[in-house]
Structure 1
Amino acid sequence: MLAFALVPAVVQPSAARADNPIVQHVYTADPAPLVHDGRVYLYTGHDEDGSTYFTMKDWRVWSSADMVNWTDHGSPLSLATFSWASADAWAGQAVQRGGRFYWYVPVKNRATGRMAIGVAVADSPTGPFRDALGRPLVENGEIDPSVFIDDNGQAYLYWGNPNLWYVKLNADMTSYSGSPTRIPLTTAGFGTRTGDPNRPTLYEEGPWVYKRNGLYYLVFAAKCCSEFIAYSTAPGPTGPWTYRGTVMPTQGSSFTNHPGIIDFKGNSYFFYHNGALPGGGGYTRSVAVERFSYNADGTIPTITMTNTGAPQVGTLNPYVRQEAETIAWGSGIETEPAAEGGMNVGWIENGDHLKVKGVAFGSGASSFAARVASGSSGGTVELRLGSPNGTVVGRCGVPGTGGWQTWTTVNCPVSGATGTQDLYLRFTGGSGYLLNINWWQFTAGTALTAPR
């Protein structure tokens, strides 16, 4: 996994300011955001560390209520979910319908050796997901499914590289009517590519389809390689499409890119991936996000990658239990499934830290509690404000508990945590792994004892 304490200045000039890429402890790719019940759920692929190809075995889920602090929900879907799949857990998308969540993904069919589209279903946006069919939904050797449900309830599945296809899904979201239809790739619809007689248009892969103010948008990865993001619009879900131009130019040290666009809490957001993390590149990618505003005529402005990311929407409440794997920026840490449920942060060594952005302490906190475990002699959780070396407002000692999943709750007094601050949990101690942390929570009030 990614264990780094300092990010090179050429990538991230200040860990205190940087919020892109939005996940730092694993490589992520091919973002597919979904808004549900006041949160953004982000479905991603997972590039293996040190990969030299698209060697991808599972998918990951993350969520956020504020666009900066992202909760790691682990991997509720993998190649092993599909008994008929052999490899290539590539770019998918999840949608919600009728209280259930359907995740469409491309995988290689073991029986045919071709890429096919499978569909998994769950009762929760974070899973667990199961194979809905026990076989491919569609199979023609092409990839990158995108699903759109129109206002009249008709759902469409789009996919394709090198072609672009759609089929009308039935209301059950696991079967379809008619046959897959190939969308004509005309230069009027998808722009003009030069230098490749086999691919006259800019369309490459990764379609993302949605509707806004009566206009249908098809955003896609364009002109490999390196790709940029472009888009087309149409008066209906199946066209005719008109090419509208560039959304994000080629940039970001990854020769692929992949779009995802949503509206959330009154703002519009564009998700993409790049190679901005240490060790990052075309096969070790990371998902990032930018806030944007449509032009008055409905066109999408040109969006540039940044390392600052989207502004926070609201604040984080420290006086309710917060999962330790809810992170704006992490250094040196990893996550894993916790024996008590959910995920925990682990593999913590001296000097590692977590950043939680925009924590609303209000008039002040008096104490801090954390659910911790240690298979070693433990360590200390330092509570700092503003930076990993900022003001200390509390220190919690963590004892050895006899096992990395043997959990106990520790408490310590807090003084000086007021207003809205970026909170850093900095971990200190001896050599080797120190502790695991599952969740934390502050108690409001005036501290009587200041930390030393």
Structure 2
Amino acid sequence: MPALTKGKFFLTWIILILWSGSIFSQNPIVPPGVYIADPTARVWKDGKIYVYGSRDESPAYYCSWRYDILVSDDMKKWKLYPDRFSSKGEHDAVPYSDDLLYAPDCWYKEGKYYLYYCLANNTLTEGVAISDSPTGPFIEGTNIEVGKYHEIDPAVFVDDDGQGYYVWGQFNLKMAKLKPNMKEIDVSSVKENVLTEKEHFFHEGTFLTKRKGVYYLVYAHMGRAGRPTCIGYSTSTSPMGPYKYGGVIIDNDHCDPGNWNNHGSLVEYKGKWYVFYHRSTHGCKSMRKACIEPVYFNEDGSINEVEMTSQGAGGPLNPLDEIEAEQACLLYGNVRIQTFSPIEEELGKIWNGDCVGYKYLDFRKGVKRIKMRIASGANPGKIDIAIDNSWGQSIGTIDVPGGCNLKNWQTFTCSVLPVDGIRALWFRFSGEGEDFFRIDRFQFEK
């Protein structure tokens, strides 16, 4: 391994070790510098909720060769367990392949946890590994024979009668019965076109769950803007269908200018339901981060579409606390979330006319000023602070001088008009040229 690569690898592990003992909250639920996509959430017998997902590591390609796991007992604070399963390297658990690992799922049965993974491989896509612990490490990865159906994004569901189902595929969804050993499917039971792009807007990334006798298939939905930015759902009274299209649960469009897809799960925890999904960063299709929103069912079992927020499963953000700029849930224009150190992120690549939104902040204690940590660029720029929406009332303006190199951080302040209630916060950017400042964090003062 070259010295530079070895140094970067070591630094990454130091960061993960530090974070693995830490807790963090709000959206996204992963720490700065860590990118977990395709979040499948599971509640196990210890009462905690576990998130299994892909781990992005480069803007140049999706996913990586390992999985991390997130764990919480309150949906607000999360602990990261890094490198719990790998397809190559020091902790290689897939002896027959060194391919990238795409989206996983996990299930518990009779003292064992079964991790279902898929590989970027046209003939050995599906696999399963086993652990005595929900956080692994998962070992002994073995191929699952799926006949001619070598596709991606496995999901597993075991019904009340003990029968398990294996669900996977792109563009049209396949489903088969799992054998009792949880490591094989009955290939003769494979059913194609359980969901289709034409009828259900199905793209990929499925999750199967059950509520009040109704089966919900949750998946990446292709019905808006020609991209699978939505989490959609369809319902049935039988696990293998037929399924009736239900609608959209959440759309992550405008989470990042380079956003392409979505993938998630629908889970009940302590009597409340949540949708897990991901958002892009870095102005690219990959480098995605897991997020959560509460969801609500109507009397007929339908689900109301929810919006992306910065608060996630927690309450509104306190404006008197420091708020990291990368907690913006809506980005319009060229602006993006990016790293400026291995464990720090920022808003950068800001051009004239860009804007970002934060939902929601609780202003009921009152505020008089705002301060922002900013690194200014060559050209001057302006930050117009607004409430409610991107065209809402301006409550203050910060002028940022030019003549700098985007490297020196300074604190800028301005007075703001009185604000009350729980409100969305927006920053509108203007200036000459492009990339005229970077924002690290902000805080209101009384």
TM over 0.5: same fold?
Answer: yes
Q: How many residues align?
A: 293
The one of 258, 277, 302 aligned to 1:299:
302
Note closer, same or farther for the CA distance 1:303–1:281 as it changes in structure 2 (3 Å cut). farther
In the other structure, the counterpart of 2:78 is: 70
More displaced, 144-153 or 258-267?
258-267
Structure 1 counterpart of 2:65, one-letter code: K
Structure 1 counterpart of 2:107, one-letter code: V
Map 1:32-431; keep pairs closer than 5 Å.
Answer: 32-36=40-44, 37-48=46-57, 50-80=58-88, 81-109=93-121, 113-114=122-123, 116-133=125-142, 135-138=143-146, 140-184=149-193, 192=198, 202-223=201-222, 225-251=227-253, 252-253=255-256, 254-276=259-281, 279=282, 281-311=284-314
Note closer, same or farther for the CA distance 1:175–1:330 as it changes in structure 2 (3 Å cut). farther
Deviation at 1:285, TM superposition (A): 0.4
Note closer, same or farther for the CA distance 1:55–1:41 as it changes in structure 2 (3 Å cut). closer
1:42 and 1:62 in contact (8 A); partners too: yes
Deviation at 1:180, TM superposition (A): 4.9
CA distance in 1 between counterparts of 2:343 and 2:156 reads 39
Note closer, same or farther for the CA distance 1:77–1:245 as it changes in structure 2 (3 Å cut). same
Note closer, same or farther for the CA distance 1:55–1:43 as it changes in structure 2 (3 Å cut). closer
Note closer, same or farther for the CA distance 1:77–1:54 as it changes in structure 2 (3 Å cut). same
Deviation at 1:293, TM superposition (A): 1.9
Structure 2 counterpart of 1:21, one-letter code: P
Note closer, same or farther for the CA distance 1:166–1:258 as it changes in structure 2 (3 Å cut). same
Structure 2 counterpart of 1:161, one-letter code: Q
1:232 and 1:244 in contact (8 A); partners too: yes
Structure 2 counterpart of 1:69, one-letter code: K
2:68 and 2:81 in contact (8 A); partners too: yes
State the Cα deviation string for residues 311-353 of structure 1 (Å, max 9, x = none).
27xxxxxxxxxxxxxxxx9999xxxxxxxxxxxxx9889xxxx
Structure 2 counterpart of 1:19, one-letter code: Q
2:117 and 2:128 in contact (8 A); partners too: yes
In the other structure, the counterpart of 1:24 is: 31
CA distance in 1 between counterparts of 2:272 and 2:115 reads 25
2:280 and 2:289 in contact (8 A); partners too: yes
CA RMSD of aligned residues (A): 3.1
CA distance in 2 between counterparts of 1:150 and 1:201 reads 23
Deviation at 1:303, TM superposition (A): 1.6
Deviation at 1:209, TM superposition (A): 0.6
Deviation at 1:178, TM superposition (A): 4.3
Deviation at 1:131, TM superposition (A): 2.3
1:89 and 1:105 in contact (8 A); partners too: yes
Query: Per the alignment, in what secondary structure is the counterpart of residue 85 of structure 1?
Result: coil
1:137 and 1:174 in contact (8 A); partners too: no
Deviation at 1:266, TM superposition (A): 1.2
Note closer, same or farther for the CA distance 1:191–1:106 as it changes in structure 2 (3 Å cut). closer
Structure 2 counterpart of 1:108, one-letter code: A
Deviation at 1:142, TM superposition (A): 0.6
Note closer, same or farther for the CA distance 1:302–1:296 as it changes in structure 2 (3 Å cut). same
Q: Specify which structure has the higher proportion of helix.
A: 2
Deviation at 1:98, TM superposition (A): 1.1
TM (norm. structure 2) is 0.60
Deviation at 1:176, TM superposition (A): 2.5
